[in-house]
Amino acid sequence: MRMTNLRRHRIFVLLAVFMLLAVVAAGCGTEKTPDQTTDKGAQEPAAQVSMEKLANDYFDNMPDNIYKIPLEELKAKVDANDSSILIVDIRSAEDYSKGHIKGSVNIPFAEMGKYLDKLPGDKEIIVACYTGQTAGQTVAVLNVYGYNARSLHLGVKSGWVGKTNYPLDTTAVSLPTGVTPAKAPSAEIAQQCADYFNNLPESLNKIDSDKLKAKIDAKEDIQIVSIRDAKDYVKGDIPGAINIPFKEVNKNLDKISKDKPVVVSCYTGQTAGQTVAILKLLGYDAYSLSSGFDLGWTAGGFPVVVPE
């Protein structure tokens, strides 16, 4: 009888030990380490958005308005006191003070990098410059950053005043405060966008037709890319220019050189400005032809050849 009781006691002890070990093992299996979480999705770091992807998105998701606003459309919005837009005049402070589009605020082109986190993210940003070219650059960077932005067709000088003779205002308008800005895809992208403006060259990423002609005559090692429509390119273009239509730039980056300066030509300079901004954000040494093929190159009487 004592043997039976002793055996029972041993069995009881063994069972107790096994149960204790099971509890400890279960606890170890479910214990969270510092980098674990019950949310499976939160265990994986957010995917880093690359500039290459943003550049592709810029062209692949291009709206029908190609990031530009017609003069008449903006005039109607101004007359209606449309609160869904903010007009940003990137001309010099001096020229802004002499007359600007009613309701527009002034942020000179080279200072835009300081204001990327101070613009209202819930409004459409309309950018106006002199002829539309630096506005094109600005709009491309703003859209990459996360804003919804368009440039004024032909700008204040050539379009608003020069083409339609719409009125200017002299009442200075301050940038709204207490706004919620657009959120950049990452801190790195935000810095790249700011650096675009902070490190602007003296040329403002543009080249005049006479200087381009001199480079062609001197047989300098440059590449000229016409982003006009193929149907217009085949009728005649700048000597030596290759054709990559605007909306297809991102699909043909392998045709654009990273080893030499690239001059981008469009019709009036605005879409070339957009293209140059995207190319420079990707590391290309790019410049847009001032006033483009129509208002710059051909208007200046420079030679046009039919591509072979």
Q: How confident is the model over 163-204, as pLDDT tens digits?
A: 999 999 999 999 999 999 999 999 999 999 999 999 999 999
Structure tokens at 82: 């449309």
Give the C-alpha distances (Å, rounded to integers) separating 222 from 154, 215, 278, 286. 27, 8, 18, 10
Say if residue 32's pLDDT is above 70.
Answer: no
Share of the chain above pLDDT 70, in %: 85
Residue 11, pLDDT > 80, answer no
Q: Give residue-wise pLDDT tens across range 285-295.
A: 999 999 999 99
Q: What is the DSSP string of 215-268?
A: HHHTT-S-EEEE-S-HHHHTT-BSTT-EE--GGGGGGGGGGS-SSS-EEEE-SS
Place of tokens 């300098």: 220
Q: What is the pTM of this model?
A: 0.84
- 151 closest CA partner among 133, 163, 175, 176: 133
Give me the pLDDT at residue 297, please: 98
Residues near 15 by beta carbon (within 8 Å), at least 6 away in sequence? none
- Is residue 109 within 8 A of residue 149, CB to CB? The reply is no
Distance CA 14, CA 20 (A): 10
Q: What is the pLDDT of residue 48?
A: 76
Q: What is the mean pLDDT of residues 114-125?
A: 98
- What mean pLDDT is reported for the chain? 89
Tally of CA atoms within 13 A in the half-sphere of 183 that contains its CB: 3
Higher pLDDT, 197 or 43: 197
